[in-house]
A and B are shown apart, each in its own frame.
Chain A
């Protein structure tokens, strides 16, 4: 787990460059509160304390990465209780949770404090101007802004290019990560790098991320435009939390299927639901909810794709440990 956390460090560094120290502080609060909640609840439930395995820390980091940088500092603590205590420890601890803890935290915060979670976006720091002030104040007094997906959803593609520049600039900026958004989901490049690192180390396989991203790309090309087959797939692939979700959250081995075929179905499901919510749903971004919804299906997918030859009587899912 600590290896996974380590692969997120480059994205964290870029986030400090883009949003100031605030992003780092919120990530730290989130990480520490997740570890604390885990330790306290394990003590209270009379289980061995397993904070040092790093899973709670990873949950904390990922949860901070999918919330806006402008939220109050206490917010992640509430999310941590939902993510770790309700979603994980009550269900029997690591290995038994059905839903991805970081995303449960996010979904709960979204439902509980919608104003913070939909409006606390801050624009990237303009380093050519008052960089130092903003850096120190952590972007606190920066005005809130709209995320690319919010602009795209509410005002359409022309307003989108007006605000973020023509498409080639957009692709460049979004790929590197200079855009308003959640703390850690800004840079497609660094997340891709982290994902590749995990694949090389054998922590994740390509099935889920590739099928998720490919589905979003193809479907956004077909349905994303004014007419059919005229969408801008790259806008959808590079915006929002798709990269982070596909590489780090959909691949969580407790809450996603283990069979390869099931993983591809899972990925396609995540991609399709994401685009459904983005284009037709009530929220501008749908990655978190689509992963949570597919998590509901994981136990069934696991069963449907269980190889027939080795069909065994129902048995306990082996808690994955690393």
Chain B
């Protein structure tokens, strides 16, 4: 009996000691982990906007996240956009499904509160009527250089060959695609996985809204001169030459990856859908903010 007690005590002691150590390590590392995750996201966004890879982002580059919520009230469903304001505050701009503005609700929150998903959801819920339910949908990023609009970065998702492909599209103020990035995918190595390669991603560069509308995927082989422009790191072509070639192929459809037509089509459709939805929504949001006289930070 005495032995059993002894064993129990020592096992308990081991467990408690382990839990304490783990708790301490957790407390130390959790913040770093969150910060690093933020940093990765920021790097992706900056990279899409043309900074990174040796080109440092300028001081006055400002990136504003705009979160979208789907708000279901007992009678109607609406959309709520969480917009940063000029005077450091935040507002929840609600819009009905047809695009009519409803109201802008000021939010009691600061940047740190907004950055964390849990506290942000709570803040949004607080601002809304009691019987309303808000579900987070997505975040788009508006980038300014000083006071000038630099562009937008929009996340999207599409059904790939096996699993979802998460991507991000960057647009300039005219809604022309300036780049895409695949943030998460599990396509087959050597086939669908090539969607992560520059020579595929860069095909989307420069496609305007007009071109995107009718963009298709073709199974023709990629023209060799185009390849030079798409993968500049592997050739010695000058910036001018690359520009010329890109210009020439600007209106081309997307050339499918060899043996991976499905993945190529998935990404193309994903980009088209992402841009279409964003342009539609952002137009409405801009109108609403003008009408309601919301002074957004961007």
- Residues of B with C-beta under 8 A to A154: 261-262
Task: Tell me the smallest distance from the CB of B190 to a CB of chain A, in Å.
Answer: 5
> Residues of B at under 8 Å CB distance from A?
161-162, 188, 190-191, 219, 258-259, 261-262
> Complex: how many Å from CA A146 to CA B218?
13
A117 to B260, CA, bound (A): 12
The tally of CB-CB contacts under 8 A between chains A and B is 19
Closest Cβ neighbor of A111 among chain B residues: B190
> How far, in whole Å, are A312 and B247 apart by their CA atoms in the complex?
77
Q: Is the CB of B191 within 8 A of A114?
A: yes
Binding site for B on A (CB under 8 A): 114-115, 117-119, 146, 154, 282
**Can you list 19 A-B contacts (CB < 8 A)?**
A114-B188, A114-B190, A114-B191, A114-B259, A115-B190, A115-B191, A115-B258, A115-B259, A117-B259, A118-B191, A118-B258, A118-B259, A119-B258, A119-B259, A146-B219, A154-B261, A154-B262, A282-B161, A282-B162
The complex places the Cα of A154 from the Cα of B161 at a distance, in Å, of 12
| Given A114-B191, A118-B191, A282-B162, 16 new contacts (CB under 8 A) | A114-B188, A114-B190, A114-B259, A115-B190, A115-B191, A115-B258, A115-B259, A117-B259, A118-B258, A118-B259, A119-B258, A119-B259, A146-B219, A154-B261, A154-B262, A282-B161
Chain A positions within 8 Å of B262 at CB level: 154
A146 to B220, CA, bound (A): 12
Which residue among A119, A146, A154, A282 has the maximum number of chain B CB atoms within 10 Å of its CB? Answer: A119
Q: Return chain B residues, CB-CB under 8 Å to A117.
A: 259
| 4 closest residue pairs by CB, A with B | A118-B259, A119-B259, A115-B258, A119-B258
Which A residues are CB-close (under 8 A) to B259?
114-115, 117-119
Interfacial chain A residues near B219, Cβ < 8 Å: 146
Distance to closest chain A CB from B60 (angstroms):
45
Shortest A213–chain B CB gap in Å is 29
Q: CA A117 – CA B191 in complex, angstroms?
A: 11
- What's the Cα separation between A115 and B162 when bound, in Å? 18
Docked complex Cα distance between A206 and B257 (Å):
43
Tell me the bound Cα distance from A119 to B258 in angstroms: 7
